[in-house]
Every structure is written in structure tokens, then in C-alpha cells.
Chain A
């Protein structure tokens, strides 16, 4: 090779390896505030009646940077919140911490490469952009962001959604109501925002989201589709972590599908991970379907004029793949039927839709003092109503309360259709829907539901006080009686606990059979501790006689223990957990 040839080779090597260096780091735009609007490049952010609204435009990297700059006021605080949500964050002993260290290490070695193999490059770029924006250009390591976009696939959430159109609604237009219910995400509730995207490639879309999320759980797009997700526990053989995190699949659908058929094609051809029920609607036809899926199966449920989804499969071909676990799906489905079909038929608009998502009544609305959850519940961290035909997105505003009860806060309407068209920040919202007055029954409902969550967090004294307040006014509030009884048993006050549980079991009406099963079971356990074996066996038997429609496996949970309890006395740990001696 002559000297000229060598030079060419050297030049080629230089070009090959110097590309990234010559390209340099991407430019981080300056944040400018003008007339109450924050601008960063082509993106902006505005606060409308307490709701943060962000607009992101351009390439994936550019949109990510804009998002990171505009929606991340305090990256350190956000990072801490994300760390608190990490599995194992609550580990107390050294051994537990060590165990979680290895589990998280394994997750990084096993899950991350698996997720990364399936994530389209454009979303990885957007994640990098987000980290660049949030760190103001100092960092681009997206590993934690990857986790925040994937951990939904490792958790269990609830959620409810419905769509109504045609004869069911006041004007025939399609309305979508949606509650995001996720106990592990409550810390994030106040950081929510409405993100409006105008990507260089694909359709403009709008999503309800939290900082660092590139994927989404709820959104709509310019052609008129909406898509929301509900978890549906699928059998172990039906799930995998080796796929595309579902929030990114949903984002992909919103950005690339214009019709229900196109959306279904994307969903069917995505390597999925877990069980979900997705509400997919098209405002133009109008029509809506519920897509029931696992990692490998997809079935589509259709209905005229209205449809809803809770956290279980209803398609006949999917029911057998439901895993055990109870999330009050039957009760919420029954309420959707009652509210849409019986109470609001022909009257549904965005205001009624918000009311439906605020529902706190048991089926039949009798008795009125159950203090149980309806469609609304204590892990509700976001509530929204979408009117895709008019390009309207109504989102509840969440304050700093650790238990947001989002659907009961005030809703703010945003005209996303106009923003897609102009790219300009709106000067005002479309209006607001007032928050639920916290008085009368509602006041005590909030107390009772807050007590449920506090018990889950181990704050027992506070929970006791709230329940006492509720029972003082509503002595037959079934949920308060049951919880109070269980709480006393957990604290070792067996006789007092028994008394409350007896009162609960002897009520004439029980709003959800699952709780009756639970009440009878705990009463049996109490009788076992009180050495009254005959009564214990009687209540184990009575617990097993309770039919719970939405409890899939006959031999799981309370039923399993009740059967064991029939055979031998069950014990209780000092923490109030049942043990089989």
C-alpha cells in the first residue's frame, strides 16, 4: 500500500471513530419565562388552574430534553421519590438490605438488557434527552429512567375506565373516564402533568404522565384514538419480563395508530409482558373496545354504546388465564352498569363522566353507609376525562396530600386539539369542575378510606382514631366495622375484635361478598385463638360458602386458609398474620 493509500485508511479510521466526538453533545436550550410560560427550545410549560401542562416538539432527543428541562423542577427530589418506590426501599434489617441489593443487581443484569433489547431506539434517545434536560446537560445515563418506564410491569396496580358514546351520551360524542389507581405510585401523584407531544414522526398525542416517563398509561392522539391501561393479573405462565414495557407499547400506539385496527395490529405484534385490559376508543366512528391481553394472547371485547374495564378479564377466551387475587373488579363493573345504563343513560357528558369516576357507592346504592370503595378508592392518584372528538382533556389536579383521592379534586379542562394545531400555549383552561365537597357522608367516607390506607402502611393508631370517628356517626358502616375488628385482632385485642367482626357479619346487607368472606374467616381465626373450636370451624365453613364472583381460584388466599382451618386450628403471629401450625 502506497503512502496515499495509508492516508485514506487513516482518514477512514478517523471518521469512523471521531463521529460521536465531532457531533458533540446536544445543545441544551435555555429556559426562558415569559408571561407565565416557561419556554425551552420548541417546548413550553404552563400552569393552568393548578395543572401543569407541557408541550414537546421535534426529534425524540429534543422532546426528551424539553421534557427534562420543563417538568423536572427538582431532579434530586424526584430521584429520591423514585428511589423510595424501588422494590426493597423499605428493607429494614441488614440482611433484607443485602438481599435487595442482590435482587436489584440481578434486575439490572437480567431485566434491563431484556427490556433494552425490545425498546425502540427513539424512546431510548428520548430517555437520554430527558436525563440531559433534567441534569441541565451534565448527565445522560438513562438506566434509572429505564427502570421508571419499566417498573409498572413488575408491580400490581388497579385502575378503572369506561367509554360511552351514541345513545348513552348527551350528544352522541364519545366520552372516556379513567381513574389511575396505584398504591405504590401515590408519592408521585403531585408531580403529574399533561404532556402534549408533536413529534417529527408520527401523530401528535397527549398523555397524562409523571416526570421521567417516556411511556404512558393514558392518552389520546390527534386522529381521535384514546388508550388507557388497567392491570389484570394473569397466570405466571402468561407473563414475562422479556418484552417491551407496556407503557412504551401504549406510547407507540398513540404515536403511530390512527384507527382501532391499526392500534390492534401494533398491540398484537408487540412482544408484551403482563396481563392488561386496555380501553381503546376511536372518536370518529365512534366506537370503543376493551383489549384483553397477556404476554402472548390478545382478545378484543366489544359492546354497543358503552364499555368498561376494571382489573379482570371478561372475554370468555381469557378468563381461564386470570391469576388469583382480588381487586374489587366485580363491584366496579356493577357500578359502571348501574351508573351508565340506569342512572345517566343519554345524559353522559364530561361532567357526568367525572362524577362516574368519583363514585363511592356500593351496588344498588343501598345501604348508603357502607364506607367501602366504589369506582373511586384510596389509591386513586389520577382521574381524567377525555373527549377526543373535541380534543379536550380534563384532568383532576392533585395537591400535596399523601393520599390524593384524585377523582374528588377539581378537574381542569385543556384544549389539546388547539395546541396540536397551533403549538402555542393556551392562555386559559377550558374551565374547571369543582372538587367534591368534603361534608356529610363524603367527609366520613374519606376518613374510612384513609384508615384503610393507613393500616396498609402500619400507622395503626391513626387508623383507629379515624375509624372511631366514622363509627361514632355511622355505627353500621360495614367497612369501618370490618377494619376495626381486624385492627383489634391484629393488636391482640381478640375479644373486642370479635365483637366488631360479629357486628359486621350480622349486618343485613354486605356490599361485596369478598369482604363477607374475609369477615367470617377472621371471626373463625379469632374463635380459634379463644379456644372455641366448634365456632371456629363453623365460621371457616361459612366463609367457604360465600361465593365471590371475581376471586378466580377456589383454593387461594382466604379460601385456602379456611380449608386448612377446617382441618386444624390456625394460629396468629404477634403481627397478626395467620399461620398454619
Chain B
């Protein structure tokens, strides 16, 4: 026993010494240059950096910095780079290359394409990227049809994260309920680690659900990871400011890839019998909780998986998929949907058309959408 203890101590000491040697090999950051800003203040970028002059450079800082800068949605996608130049002194110079986009748009092709797509889906979006140079982005949006809304979202980098405030007036005629009212929300998110992002916020909804007045405060907490597991956990507590009881909602998803096989496992539950319908989950079709061979349903609890086989041929992606699992109410006995689809890679992302079939119910459905059903949560 004594020998084992000594052995363990030795291993610990050696490990610590090895790590110290490893750390000593990392060069010291002697200089940080932020290049390319024309509107945003340098300080705003500095706040997002997980390192400072005098620190030792770690390779993980590169991706970490890029994650944070991308999250601000304040800079053009290119050039957005973190470069290290070795210096004759043995230290390193870190250059962070960013570019303020034009206030109205980021790229002419992107503008035309995204506007066209938005119009097809009955909505308009107008982002204003840091118009006054003070750091705020403004996103005005509106839509018509069954989901009508007018909204304003304002984001601003604060510290090493981003603060978002949003307000939205909604009139939504869902297949299951009619929701009207005003939603106000605020949240703060930050990449606290190269692979972990935390998000905390609250939402206040005041309006009418199927004619009945409601006011709900809904604080939420979420965590996202991209390594070693790619997934998210999101939970919220509904605090009605009226007669109904509080409710709790949690859902999570994990994604994995193995060659051309891609899998996604999702689970969620709403605890509280009086939870309003507009806080329940939607299953069916493409993009919500995909069960692509059947129509939309309202769900309180679910455990669903999606497996897809992608056979990439240039820009075309023939796809076979299987959606299955359990949900309640309606799918307690298990459900399985299978089908095939075709994705096309475009500069704007993937466009997909799927045909799904539920063999137990004998239903089929066509689904058209942008992006895959396993889009990572960030």
C-alpha cells in the first residue's frame, strides 16, 4: 500500500513537472495588434480576448477568440483571423484581424440571397451593424401570414460576452392555439472556455392565449458545448403572474458523427400540468423536432433520435434518414419515420427537400428547408 502511494506521488510529481516544462515552452505574448477596425472601438475587441500582453500563448486561444468575436456578429466573416508571429526575442506577436462590415449589409450577394429567402418565407429582416460605432447591432424584423410579428433586437458586447435585448409583438395563429402579445427578453452569453458557452437570461411575455390574458416571467439558463460532445442543455422556469401554477421546461440535444453517418439525440420535458400551450414542444415535419413523415403535434415530453446517411456528391447530398423515439402525448408506443432527401450546398448554406414516411400510420410528408436537421446549436 505504501509503495502504491509513493508510486502515485511520483507519477503526480512527474506529471506536474512535465506540465510545467510544457507551459514553459509556450511563448510569451509580447504584443497584441488589432487590425482592420473602422467603426468599432479597439477596446470592444480587447474585451473579447481571453489573453493579454505578458500571458503565455496557448493554441486554444485562437479558436476561443474567434468564437467570441463571431458571437458578437459585429464583424465580416472574412477576414476574421487570429495570427501569431514569432518575434526575435522568443516571444510572440498576436494579430487579431477583423473588419467592420458596411452598416446595412455584409456582402451584396448575401444581401440579395438572404432578402430573397426571407421574402419567400414571408418575413423581412434588417440588420444594422454597429451603425454609430458605439457597439450596438440593431435587428429589425417583421413577418406576415400565420405568424405575424414586429420585432427589434439589440446586441452589444459587454465584457467577454454579448448582451442581447429583444422585444417582439406577436400574433401567431398556430394549428393548436392563438397567441398574441408582447415578448420582452434579455440575455447574456459568453464563451467561458474554448468549448463551453453559457447563456443566462429571462423573458417576459404579456398577452393572450386563445383569448385568455396571461403574463409569464421565464428565466432561462443554457449551456453549449462543442467538444468533446457537441450539444446543449437549456432549462427555464415559467413563473406565471396570475392564477396558473409555475412550470419547468428543460431540453437538450447531443450530436455525433461517424463518417457519413450523423446522429442526433434530443430529449425534453415540461413539468407542470398548467404550462401554457405556447411553451410546449412541437414535433413533426422538418426543423422543429423532426418526424418528417407526419404532421405537427404538441408534445410535453420526448426522447427522439435522428440518424442520417449523407452521400456527398460534389454540391449535391443525397440523404437517407430515420427519425424515431417516443413522445407524449401521441407517441407513447414509439414512433418511426423514414425517408430520403436531397440537399444542395449553396453559398447561403444547404437547401433540402425531404420525403418522409411513417410506416405505422401510413402518412407521408414533403419537407423543404434550409440547413440540416442536425444543425449545431451555435
Contact = CB atoms under 8 A, between A and B. Distances in A.
A448 B124 CA distance: 63
Interface in A265-307: 268-272, 295-299
Given A296-B95, A296-B97, A317-B85, A242 B108 contact: no
A467 B109 CA distance: 49
B78 A240 contact: yes
Contacts of A106: 108-109
Given A109-B108, A242-B99, A271 B85 contact: no
A242 B95 contact: no
A436 to B, nearest CB: 42
Contacts of A237: 81
A117 B100 contact: yes
Interface stretch (B31-39, B167-175, B190-198): B31-39
Interface string B91-116: 00001010110100001110000000
B86 A295 contact: no
A434 interface: no
Contacts of A270: 35
B46 to A, nearest CB: 15
Interface string A94-119: 00000000000010011001100110
A293 to B, nearest CB: 10
A243 interface: yes
A113 B95 CA distance: 23
B80 to A, nearest CB: 10
A43 to B, nearest CB: 31
A296 B81 contact: yes
Contacts of B95: 296-297
B79 interface: yes
A369 B355 CA distance: 72
Contacts of A299: 85
A109 B76 CA distance: 15
Contacts of A240: 78-79, 97, 99
A109 B105 CA distance: 11
A316 to B, nearest CB: 9
B9 interface: no
Contacts of B86: 317
B13 interface: no
B83 interface: yes
A110 B110 CA distance: 11
Contacts of A272: 35
Q: Determine the interface band of chain A, counting residues with CB < 8 A from chain B.
A: 20 to 34
A297 B83 contact: yes
A110 B76 contact: no
Contacts of B100: 117
Contacts of B79: 240, 242-243, 295-296
B97 to A, nearest CB: 5
B83 A268 contact: no
Contacts of B99: 114, 117, 240, 242, 271
B76 A242 contact: yes
- Highest count of chain A CB atoms <10 Å: which of B36, B38, B81, B83: B36
B97 A113 contact: no
Nearest to B79: A240
Contacts of B97: 240, 271, 295-296
Interface in B17-43: 33, 35-36, 38
A296 B35 contact: yes
A269 B102 CA distance: 21
Given A240-B78, A242-B78, A317-B86, A268 B33 contact: yes
A53 B190 CA distance: 59
A296 B99 CA distance: 12
A268 B86 CA distance: 14
A270 B34 CA distance: 9
B85 A269 contact: no
A423 to B, nearest CB: 35
Given A117-B38, A242-B36, A110 B108 contact: yes
A139 B374 CA distance: 56
Contacts of B38: 117-118
Interface string A73-111: 000000000000000000000000000000000100110
A139 to B, nearest CB: 25
Contacts of A243: 35-36, 79
Nearest to A110: B108
B38 to A, nearest CB: 4
Contacts of B85: 297-299, 317
B107 A110 contact: yes
Contacts of A117: 38, 99-100, 102
A269 B100 CA distance: 16
Contacts of B109: 106
A299 B38 CA distance: 25
Contacts of B78: 240, 242
A358 B102 CA distance: 47
A296 to B, nearest CB: 4
B207 to A, nearest CB: 40
Nearest to B85: A297
A484 B83 CA distance: 46
Contacts of A317: 85-86
B363 to A, nearest CB: 46
Nearest to B84: A297
Interface in A253-275: 268-272
Nearest to A294: B83
A532 B78 CA distance: 49
A135 B95 CA distance: 42
Nearest to B82: A296
Interface in B186-206: none
B83 A296 contact: yes
A523 B232 CA distance: 61
A269 B33 contact: yes
A243 B107 CA distance: 15
B53 to A, nearest CB: 15
Given A242-B76, A242-B99, A296-B97, A271 B83 contact: no
A271 to B, nearest CB: 4
Nearest to B39: A117
- Highest count of chain B CB atoms <10 Å: which of A237, A297, A317: A297
Contacts of B33: 268-269
Contacts of A242: 36, 76, 78-79, 99
A344 to B, nearest CB: 30
B289 to A, nearest CB: 39
A256 B233 CA distance: 54
Nearest to A239: B79
Contacts of A298: 85
A232 B108 CA distance: 30
Nearest to A117: B38
B119 to A, nearest CB: 20
A270 B37 CA distance: 10
Contacts of B35: 243, 269-272, 296
Interface in B209-264: none
- Highest count of chain A CB atoms <10 Å: which of B79, B85, B107: B79
A299 to B, nearest CB: 7
A271 B86 CA distance: 19
Contacts of A109: 108
A319 to B, nearest CB: 13
Contacts of B102: 113, 117
19 contacts: A106-B108, A110-B107, A110-B108, A117-B38, A117-B99, A117-B102, A118-B38, A240-B97, A240-B99, A243-B35, A271-B35, A271-B97, A271-B99, A272-B35, A296-B83, A296-B97, A297-B85, A297-B95, A299-B85
Given A242-B99, A299-B85, 17 more contacts: A106-B108, A106-B109, A109-B108, A110-B107, A113-B102, A118-B38, A242-B76, A269-B33, A269-B35, A271-B35, A271-B36, A271-B97, A271-B99, A296-B35, A296-B83, A296-B97, A298-B85
Interface of B: 33, 35-36, 38, 76, 78-79, 81, 83, 85-86, 95, 97, 99-100, 102, 107-109
**Which 8 pairs from chain A and chain B are nearest by CB?**
A271-B36, A240-B79, A296-B83, A109-B108, A117-B38, A242-B99, A271-B35, A296-B97
